[in-house]
Amino acid sequence: MSVCEDMLLCNYCKCRVKLSGYAWVTACSHIFCDQHGSGELSRSPAVCPACNSALSGKLDIVCIELSPSEEHKAMVLAGLRPETVLDISSRALSFWTYQVNPPQVGHQHDVLG
């Protein structure tokens, strides 16, 4: 168990800052601080700085608020079917698990930089 499990780190290799405020999430399950998200991901065509995936879809890059207000939490999933709420929740939990405990099998680190 890592001491950082309550916080995710920017996936930009030279950054690794603890994320707070706003963060940028990619479809390839990477997450970046506001600085690197708005900088690296705003290029055209956008490419994930962590895994070089092309991020061309409208929802391939999403800016999220890490500590949403009570008002936001009250409304964001309201009206959705229970299975949809659970589906979204389980995907978000999978993302968290992947970030906190990345798969090691067959994983090779790219040359940094």
Choice between 17 and 85, CB closer to Zn ion = 17
Per-position x/- string for 54-93, each x denoting binding to Zn ion as judged by CB under 5 A, each - no binding: ----------------------------------------
Residue count at the site for Zn ion (CB under 5 A)?
11
Choice between 10 and 41, CB closer to Zn ion = 10
List Cβ neighbours of 69 (8 Å cut-off, separation of 6 or more): none
Query: What's the closest the beta carbon of residue 104 comes to Zn ion, in angstroms?
Result: 17
Choice between 7 and 53, CB closer to Zn ion = 53
Query: Does residue 30 belong to the site contacting Zn ion (CB under 5 A)?
Result: yes
List Cβ neighbours of 98 (8 Å cut-off, separation of 6 or more): 29
Burial of 40 by CB count in 10 Å (0-12 exposed, 13-18 middle, 19+ buried)? middle
CA distances from 16 to 10, 13, 41, 63, 110 (A): 5, 6, 16, 18, 16
Among 23, 50, 61, 99, binds Zn ion (CB under 5 A): 50
